[in-house]
Amino acid sequence: MEEEGREGEGAVSQNEHDQQSRDLPSEQDPEPPPDPVLEDSLCVDRRTVDRLTEGLLSHYLPDLQNSKRVLQELTQNQVILLDTLDQEVTKFRDCNALLDLNALFTEAKIYHNKLVNIRKEMIMLHEKTTKLKKKALKLQQQKQKDLLEKEQQREKELERERQLTAKPAKRS
């Protein structure tokens, strides 16, 4: 650590020496006025830059790696939450479909009961129709019988009238 401090001091003193030589006018060749960008830049050796870089990295890298790990955990947890949420949505859809299915079964039961009632009514109407047809047939047969009896009665009466009608006697 002491070496780093000394090297840093050496770099600064070297820099100060370069700065002083620039500030003094040179008798050999007149220089144009110094460039402000070059004046602000520092000359630092490569080893110092590497050590400063290592120090900076050693200072911030653990926090950055920890932050990266936490972000990865959060991302994984978010993925897990999204999957769980998707499963819950699927469950709700299934429940809604089940409710719709239950409503469909209830409606089917209602229509089945209506069909059973219609079938019973049709059977009852068929029985009534059959009874009415039998009754109508009996009435028709009775009417025909009555008409036949009336016709026979009339023929008997006509025959009786014929017999009662005076007949001329035969002369032999």
Confidence of residue 40 (pLDDT cuts 50, 70, 90): low
Instruction: Yes or no: say if 7 and 45 are a contact pair by the CB < 8 Å rule.
Output: yes
Q: How far is CA 81 from CA 12, 72, 87, 92, 151, in A?
A: 56, 14, 10, 16, 102
* Structure confidence at residue 162 (pLDDT): 84
Q: How far is CA 26 from CA 16, 21, 32, 39, 41, in A?
A: 17, 8, 11, 17, 21
Confidence of residue 26 (pLDDT cuts 50, 70, 90): very low
* Structure confidence at residue 30 (pLDDT): 54
Average pLDDT for residues 125-138, to the nearest whole number? 97
Q: Is the pTM of this model over 0.95?
A: no
Say how far apart CA 18 and CA 21 lie, in whole Å. Answer: 5
